[in-house]
Amino acid sequence: MGRQSPRISLTESGRLDVPVDHLDPLVRRNPNVKYFISEDEDFILKFNDLMKLAGQIFSVGK
C-alpha cells in the first residue's frame, strides 16, 4: 500500500517531484516562464546595488 503525502501547503514546492494536482491552476508556476529565486546567493549579494539602480530608474526620493 502506497503512502499518500499530506496536502497541507497551498503553494507550489520548488521541488519537481512534489504533486501539484491539488492546487488551483492559477497559483501554479507556468513552465514557459523563467523565474528568479530571491533566496539565491548572487541575488542577495547584489540586492543593495539592484535597489539603488531601481531607485535611479524610477526616480525614487526625487
DSSP output for 37-55:
-TTSHHHHHHHHHHHHHHH
Identify the burial level of 23 via C-beta atoms within 10 angstroms of its C-beta, where 0-12 means exposed, 13-18 middle and 19 or more buried: middle
Domain contains 39: yes
CA proximity to 14, closest of 28, 3, 25, 1: 28
Domain contains 9: no
Domain contains 47: yes
Residue with C-alpha cell 541575488? 43
Report the half-sphere exposure of 32 (CA within 13 A, side-chain side): 0
Domain contains 60: yes
Domain contains 44: yes
* pLDDT at residue 49, rounded to an integer: 95
pTM of the model: 0.45
Domain contains 22: no
Q: Which domain holds residue 57?
A: 35-62
Give dist(CA 12, CA 20) in Å, integer: 7
Percent of the chain with pLDDT over 70: 84
The model's pLDDT over 8-26, given as tens digits with 9 standing for 90+, comes to 778 888 888 988 988 999 9
Q: How many domains does the chain have?
A: 1
